[in-house]
Structure 1
Amino acid sequence: MNKTDRLLAIVLELQRKGVLRAEDLAATFETSVRTIYRDIQALSEAGVPVVGAPGLGYSLMEGYFLPPISFTVEEAVTLLIGTDFIEQRFDTDYGTKARTSREKIEAILPGHVRSEASRVRKSIRLLASGEDITREQEKEYIETIRRAILEERQIRFGYSKRMPEVDGNRQSVRVAAPYGLVLVRGSWMLIAQCDLRQEIRHFRLSRMTDLTVLEDRFKVPFDFNLHDYEPADDRNIRVQIRVNPGIADKVKESNNFYMDSVEDHADGLLVNFRVRQPEELLHWVLGWGANVVVLEPESFRNQVRDEAEQMLKRY
């Protein structure tokens, strides 16, 4: 990054974050603190009202804003594709905001940039598959949960687990304090404090029913940060399968959530998984038919064989 670009970026950082130390700016722009001092001096000499507070850092004088910023073609295309993504993946309210944002961005672009951005954008298409596209019901839930998060209200919903609990039940009713929404491999997940389990749990929106916002309020713990949050990895069981060479590429492209490693061998593809329970892979393995063989654990290998025998009896 050259000096001119860095000076503009520093102003944008201060405008966006309020107060920053020279050390923070040096780390952000991968330069020395001495260079930041010189940059701040250059900005001040150029008339940018940068205020320095000993022990706190630098900030912009209250009321100062940058004039409208011009976008390059690549930056404009990035923003416009971003609005496409929001419209496709988020709720109706944000979808509407994405469309109006796109119109405003296009309106303020200089003619030559708008024309070139339109030409580039025609060569790029954001397309979701039938499985990945967010269903209308989920979009409604996203909007409801998003508002519950902002209002700090608890929610109640029916939930269907993929694997049964210890008592054999798959269905349950949950009351939870919603902390955040995460898009994981095309699926929306709610991160919430579950009253039933008394811990943070993850819930797929596609498995929810009868979502209701309650009057009861909650407070997000001061030490919880959704962007820093990493759930405990309790996938401790290893499953290994061998895949016939003819469908090796298809298996790789399936991008199974539990897939841990893939190794190419002369006799086929060796795939390792880490799961909580081998049953989580049962239907996926059966879906490949005779092209996949379970190598271990033996108990899962037997389970797949038993299931195949039951299928054969039906035919």
Structure 2
Amino acid sequence: MNRIDRLSAILIHLQSKRRVTAQEIAERFEISLRSVYRDVKALQESGVPIIGESGIGYSVMEGYRLPPVMFTNEEASSLLLAGKLAEISTDPAVKKHFENALFKIKSVLRYTDKEQIETLEENVIVIPSSYNTSKDANAQYLSELQRAMVTKRVVHMEYCKAYDTTVEARDVEPIGLCYYGNAWHCIAWCRLRKDYRDFKMSRIVKLYVTDTVFDNSSHPSISEYLSKMTAREKQLSEIIIRIRKDVARYIGGQKYYYGFVSEEICEDDVRLTFLTSYPDMFARWILMFTDGLTIESPADFKAQVKEMCEKLYRHHV
């Protein structure tokens, strides 16, 4: 990236946040701190009202705006792909806002780029996973939860418990949204349980944002919370199985949900290695393959599966 392009990119970066540190700019553009100071000074000398506070960072004076940005074809194409994914993983309100933003982006493209984007739009299709339900795919209440997090408002919800039809009323203080397992989850402090909880959004029956403001000073950020949860996870167990080739085809993409690490094609079977924190859940999964599968290691896991099979036999005798 030449210096002119870098100066423009730094200015865009400065306008994207309230405050940006010199270290953050240096890391993003892979330049030294000395180069950052020179570039910021060059922008200031060109008339850009950049305010620098020692030990805090840089900010652009309120009210200053960069003239309309010209997107490259590659940047606009990337946003189009993101929009296609947004169609199946966000709620109607977020989808609408994204579409409006995409129209504005298209308006500043060159005619040749517009034609390419239109062609791309017609020929890119994202098909929802067969494991998703329509409710999961719509990701209801994303907009409301985003508003609640920004304004620090307590959210009242009616939540359906897993594997149960019981609906409970909860008042929660949302700290973040997380997408995993083909579904959106809201991480929040539950006032009923007096602890942090993971609420799967497809189980939310009703939701509205109240006028009650909560103090978020004691709440961790979503990244801090997830880091702590990861640290509390059980020790990962390595499990190696061998499965007949005629049976292996039925595993398909399921293996990625159970900690798949690697596979080795052998003469008569396939050797699969997994890392999992939940051996019990893993055992219940592989039981569906009955005699088409053999556990290679560890020995204690093999004994666990054997015990489960014996319980199953005694139950049905």
Same fold (TM over 0.5): yes
Shift of residue 183 of structure 1?
0.8
**Counterpart in the other structure of 1:269:** 271
SS at match of 2:178: strand
Partner Cα distance (1:270, 1:7) in 2 = 50
- Tell me if structure 2 keeps the 8 A contact 1:70–1:109: yes
Shift of residue 112 of structure 1?
1.2
- Tell me if structure 1 keeps the 8 A contact 2:159–2:169: yes
Per-residue Cα deviation, 1:58-81 (whole angstroms, up to 9, x for no partner):
333332211111111111111122
Gaps of 5+ in 1: 163-168
- Tell me if structure 1 keeps the 8 A contact 2:92–2:138: no
SS at match of 1:109: coil
Question: If each structure's helix is expressed as a fraction of its own residues, which one has the higher value?
Answer: 2
Code of the aligned partner of 2:158: F
Partner Cα distance (1:113, 1:255) in 2 = 40
Shift of residue 148 of structure 1?
4.4
**Counterpart in the other structure of 2:206:** 211
- Tell me if structure 2 keeps the 8 A contact 1:87–1:99: no
Code of the aligned partner of 1:242: R
What are the residue-to-residue correspondences of 1:60-79 with 2, within 5 Å? Answer: 60-79=60-79
- Is the deviation greater in 264-273 or in 89-98? 264-273
- Is the deviation greater in 211-220 or in 14-23? 211-220
Partner Cα distance (2:98, 2:11) in 1 = 26
**Counterpart in the other structure of 2:176:** 180
Shift of residue 25 of structure 1?
2.2
- Is the deviation greater in 121-130 or in 67-76? 121-130
Let me know the Cα RMSD of the aligned residues.
Answer: 3.4
SS at match of 1:135: helix
**Counterpart in the other structure of 1:100:** 100
SS at match of 1:271: strand
Shift of residue 202 of structure 1?
1.7
Partner Cα distance (2:246, 2:199) in 1 = 36
Code of the aligned partner of 1:25: I
Q: 1:133 to 1:65 in 2, by over 3 A?
A: farther
Code of the aligned partner of 1:28: R
TM-score (norm 2): 0.79
**Counterpart in the other structure of 2:2:** 2
- Tell me if structure 1 keeps the 8 A contact 2:153–2:209: no
Per-residue Cα deviation, 1:220-254 (whole angstroms, up to 9, x for no partner):
34451113432244334745533223454653632
- Is the deviation greater in 228-237 or in 86-95? 228-237
SS at match of 1:64: coil
Gaps of 5+ in 2: none
Shift of residue 264 of structure 1?
1.8
- Tell me if structure 2 keeps the 8 A contact 1:174–1:195: no
SS at match of 2:205: strand
**Counterpart in the other structure of 1:165:** none
Partner Cα distance (1:249, 1:120) in 2 = 33
Shift of residue 189 of structure 1?
1.6
| Length, aligned pairs only | 304
Per-residue Cα deviation, 1:58-114 (whole angstroms, up to 9, x for no partner):
333332211111111111111122222223211121122222223332233221110
